[in-house]
Structure 1
Amino acid sequence: MLNRDEYLAAWSRWHGDADTSSPLVRGWLTLAHTLARPLAGMPPVVATAAGLAVAAAAVAPAAAGGAWLIAAGLLVGLSGLLDSLDGALAIGAGRASQRGFVLDSVVDRLTEVAYAGALWVAGAPGWLVVVFGALCWLPDYVRARAGQAGVDRTGPISLWERPTRVVMAALTLGGAGVVSGLEVRGVDGDVLTVTSGAAVGAVLGAVATVQLGWWLRSELAGPEGPGPR
């Protein structure tokens, strides 16, 4: 098993030389590496499947509402840890592959569908949940298309990376459970909380997309390619 610094360097290489100096990203990866060390023999796909299952399981307690929203938030947080654990197991134990990298990315997007679904059944407006979900996907889609266009770097770490999405969804659902039963100007506290959390996530996603697009202006400045000039 690689030590932490070796793991961070390897993770960065697998993600287009992504910067790991951000306290949030570095802390998240360090936590995943710490959890992976005693589980080094476990196949990474087990953690991948478990993360997706746990994310999907968060929808039911979110729909139940009330104090069950706390459980939904905990499940979202756990799914995020499992998602990072599979990468730590694969990279740290030298078992990373292109197939696993693609599978992990697909599962990430599916878990974010589950997060958006949990916010919706907890009371957030449908249109806002759609925007939230789309802006979970859009920055990574832009990066993927930029990679196909020849950009071999991940680019700047934005305000809306995967750890932020997990933390935001988990805290929003958990916080809604804490304030359930309260009312603010006639609006249920849990509904207000999930709506506010989804709105903040959407704003962060929009800012991240603009940030990424601004960086890509220089990376894609050449005349090649079939797209609009």
Structure 2
Amino acid sequence: MTVSASVTIDVVSDVVCPWCFIGSRRLDKAIAAAGDVEVHVTWRPFQLDPTIPAQGVDRRDYMLGKFGDEGRIREIHARIEPLGVAEGIAFDFDAITVSPNTLDAHRVIRWAAANGEEVQGRLMRRLFSLYFEQGRNIGDHAVLIAAAREAGMDEAVVEALLPTDADAEAVRNEIATASKMGVTGVPCFLLERRYAVMGAQETDTLADAIRQVAAAKAKGELDSAD
């Protein structure tokens, strides 16, 4: 009889990272492909650019400032779009008009975890879709409140907390901890908080990592590891 074990995965990501959206779809497929391994996923915060002001900035100006010219931007988008199609993602980069600061989004994602991993997962998927497929401003409180409601959270609680600084420092501390652990880019998949899989790896790579860690855990090898 095959011995299996549950595996925890902490996904360090930012909701304005297209590779994180792709990685989330590949992770879903990897979990399905991992057989009878029970996988528990928690989404952890990261900010690709915490210097963006709270109200966000014009997307086109921001991208031009970062990459220099329209041709370079189109080249980047053209590379990402077919990868998205393969994962069932309809990237619409032209629809995005605001580059948001994602601190508030990460606060709501943190609160979602208190409602269970399924609710947090639904919220992440919704925010990715709103931003990349619909061009919505996920720094806007009204957009975040609606997304929270759609994910199954208490809308009134989110509406009351968002205008405050609740958990802002906690999110920043989590991001700082990830940086101290060596996370410099996202997505980063931390299995059992011991093994890191960096980047939007292929589904098979993620599934293999899940199976290997589950097997090692079932044999007690993780407990004896240095």
- TM-score normalised by the chain length of structure 1: 0.31
Higher fraction of strand: 2
- The higher-RCO structure (CA 8 Å, 6+ apart) is 2
